[in-house]
Amino acid sequence: MKKLSLCILLVTFFIQVKAQNLQGRVIDEITGKGIPFVSVGSVGTNNATVSNENGDFILKPPTYPIKLRASHISYLLVELNLAQNPDKLVISLKPATLTLNVVTIDPFQGQRVLKAALELATANATTNFYTNAFYRQLTTVNNKPTQIYELFYDLKWNTKRVQGWSAQQSRYAELKDGLAFSLNNQSYLTFSYSGYLMPEKGGKFVTLKNLGDFTITIDKYIEQASQKIAVVSCKYKKGKKNQYYVNSTYYIGIDDSKIYRLENNVYNLPISLSDATAKYPPAVTTVATFNGEGHPIPVLESVSTKFLITLAVKGQELNSGISSLLTVYKVDNDLKNQQFEALNRKTKDKKVIESIAYDSSFWKDNPIVKQTTLEDSFIKMMESKQAFGTMINP
């Protein structure tokens, strides 16, 4: 009996070791600082993720040995062979060589590079990709976390933007502690900015039809091993105090005209508030990254959104913020036969979340994107209160 028990323990220990998540951090080789939005994945598999804003990442249990790849448009690609799960994995990336575009020989060069990229995206606008995605959103008031929700969902995406979504698993928790702030359709905001082409209605976004309304310049080139990447900035010429417009920065391959990264600064985003007034227009920034490996055009990889607003509520000033990160971790065209909910600005995220029964066993140790320190502490507190099961802090 003793030998049998020992064997069972050994087998159990082996299974636990094999099932461990792979965790690590990606840092800048020179500064030592964490690098956000680095694509990290196991080569030859669909096991992939994106590092959070601190450079931390987490992968679901891989089968060793593996070749791990870390890539970022501004850094040189790194591949590591791992025979087993390391205790502390730190991946150092070397910044790619930058060439500043100091002298503008051709003032229309930036416009031509961007036009070619937008034409390529437009030519592929009817090609849909189907993916598994994870979304986490944290709301803070005066720097204190008040609300969090996480969703696993399937996405229907093309080069215009997200076309539809289908929620699979969700959880939500809210701290009822005095005044609160909530943006009930942050998912729409995230989805709306998760593509190459911006909507042509509502605000001023750079498109093929209005290139002349923007000052378009190449700020610098990134020397990657495969090709040069042009960093193209687009600044709206006629921006007014209350006008809704977006200034964008595109990272575009010179040889293939593919867009690998898109940064947006959104000005004067129109919002509707109840029981509050905004002291200033909200500050909104987004960063979308795209993965071109194995695809004729880069496929959506991640979207980070930051929303900051100062409110006056019942004589009090609230500094509210919402940060979110959408991560695509698998491309699966077998999803194309399912029903997707069309993108709609009237969608209420909380209703979508509450329409799915909370499954505590699913969420136990089920990360796709590593939590930041702030997210981790708030989630643990709300879990200790069993807040996720009741949807609000009991």
On whether both 377 and 316 belong to a single domain, the answer is: yes
For range 184-201, the mean pLDDT: 68
On whether both 85 and 231 belong to a single domain, the answer is: no
301's tokens: 């990889």
Predicted pLDDT of residue 201 = 61
- Rounded distance between C-alpha atoms, residue 276 and residue 273, angstroms: 6
- As a whole number, the mean pLDDT across the chain is 84
Predicted pLDDT of residue 235 = 95
77 falls within a domain: yes
Q: What percent of the chain has pLDDT over 70?
A: 89
58 falls within a domain: yes
Q: Which of 91-100, 187-196, 365-374 has the lowest mean pLDDT?
A: 187-196
Amino acid symbol at 68:
L
On whether both 260 and 361 belong to a single domain, the answer is: yes
Q: Which residue range forms the structural domain that includes residue 358?
A: 109-390
- The total domain count for the chain is 2
- Rounded distance between C-alpha atoms, residue 331 and residue 46, angstroms: 7
On whether both 15 and 158 belong to a single domain, the answer is: no
Residue finishing a domain among 95, 125, 146: 95
Sequence-ordered list of residues with C-beta below 8 angstroms from that of 6, at least 6 positions apart, any chain: none
Residue finishing a domain among 95, 119, 134: 95
pTM of the model: 0.89
Q: Which of 56-60, 155-159, 164-168, 270-274 has the lowest mean pLDDT?
A: 270-274
| Whether pLDDT at 108 is above 70 | yes
Predicted pLDDT of residue 388 = 85
On whether both 70 and 152 belong to a single domain, the answer is: no
On whether both 194 and 90 belong to a single domain, the answer is: no
The domain that holds 19 is classified in CATH as 2.60.40.1120
On whether both 355 and 264 belong to a single domain, the answer is: yes
Local confidence band at 9 (pLDDT 50, 70, 90 cut-offs)? very low
Q: How many CA atoms lie within 13 A of 194 on its CB side?
A: 31
CB atoms within 10 A of CB 269: 17
Residue finishing a domain among 42, 69, 95: 95
103 falls within a domain: no
